[in-house]
Amino acid sequence: MKPLLLHFYVTYRCNARCEFCDIPDTCDIPVYHELSLDQAAKIVKDVRDLGVKFADFTGGEPLLYAHLPTLLKISRGLGLYTSVTTNCIKYPDLAEKIKGAVTYLHFSLDSMDREVHDGIRGVNCYDRVMESIEIAKSLGEKPDIMFTVNEGNLSSIVDLVKFAQDEKLMLLINPEFDYSQNRGFQREFWNYLRSYSKKPYVYLNYAFERLHRKGGNRIDAPRCKVFDSTIVINPKGELILPCYHRQMDTIPIESDLKAVYQSEEVQQWRHRQGRFLFCEGCHINCYFDPSFCYNWDAYTLLSLAAKAKYVFDKHIRFK
């Protein structure tokens, strides 16, 4: 199968200091090392030619990348589905510019308690999220609410579900994974999450739950298909190997992404996908979601079932 997803880290800069993220502390690529619009657009065109269908523009805070509005429109013009997850600090200023250019627009909201949310995000941004929701709805957008959950804010799900249902917006439950200083989402809390997953306007990928309960990826029988499914690019325009969160190497793309992606060097990495020692027990959501589309099994079916509920809730329910 061809790759499905582009993870494009358009910037490592961020205007928040989330407690579960190390990007502001470990990534030091300044703005003048970020790609020009022409360079970024060339990458998007190249991945489309390789078969990619979804382009996720991430960071850092992606709305800090000056060329993002135009890059989103170029991507949509090429027939790609686009996604952006934002802390909403910049969204009110850019809402008009990106209107209609983001297929899946995600607003991060970790609690309906202002102090709890702002404490997790490291800056005062709760009010900007609320403002952004109103602006987006006034523009005809239907943003999803991205709820990054750990044991510290688990109880916030009660009020977040009610808020999502009142607003008729999807609540995406995003369990924190084991990375950097994080402990990850503990298995004993899954039953509590599962009790909310069948409610209207709530999305939880059931395949993630199965993966967590089974202890994550196994290097003797890997379920991670990061090389088959995903192309990961950093702000300097380099291919990240094997993935952002466990990167061991990068390859400059220069002018020919296809040649780099199909090179013998990358193929050697591909043969080891999910088999490195650090892959044992991994359950990093952003790589397993597309991986579930490869090698049909119970994970595939569970993931498809969750996505079918998402489509029904977001586009059909109560119409």
143-187: per-residue pLDDT in tens? Answer: 999 999 888 899 999 999 999 999 999 999 998 866 555 555 666
Tens digit of pLDDT for each residue in 258-309? Answer: 999 999 999 999 999 999 999 999 988 889 999 999 989 999 999 999 999 9
Rounded mean pLDDT of 116-131?
94
Total number of domains in the chain: 1
Rounded mean pLDDT of 239-253?
92
Q: What is the DSSP letter of 166?
A: H
Tens digit of pLDDT for each residue in 56-97? Answer: 999 999 999 999 999 999 999 999 999 999 999 999 999 999
Exposed / middle / buried, residue 230 (Cβ in 10 Å: 0-12, 13-18, 19+): buried
How high is the pLDDT of residue 299? 96
What CATH number should be reported for the domain holding residue 245?
A: 3.20.20.70
The span from the CA of 230 to the CA of 247, in Å, is: 14
How far are the Cα atoms of 118, 123, 182 from residue 167, in angstroms, in the given order? 21, 25, 31
Tens digit of pLDDT for each residue in 9-54? Answer: 999 999 888 777 777 655 556 666 899 999 999 999 999 999 999 9
Asked whether 196 and 155 are in contact (CB, 8 A), the reply is no
How far are the Cα atoms of 49, 86, 102, 313 from residue 310, in angstroms, in the given order? 28, 20, 17, 5
Asked whether 173 and 197 are in contact (CB, 8 A), the reply is yes
Total length of the chain: 319
Tens digit of pLDDT for each residue in 177-218? Answer: 665 555 556 667 888 888 899 999 999 999 999 998 898 999
Rg (C-alpha) for the chain, rounded Å, is 19
Q: Give me the percent of the chain exceeding a pLDDT of 70.
A: 93
Q: Residue 117 is part of which domain span?
A: 5-315
The span from the CA of 240 to the CA of 132, in Å, is: 32
How high is the pLDDT of residue 38? 96
Rounded mean pLDDT of 119-129?
94
The span from the CA of 37 to the CA of 48, in Å, is: 16
How high is the pLDDT of residue 180? 54
The span from the CA of 243 to the CA of 183, in Å, is: 20
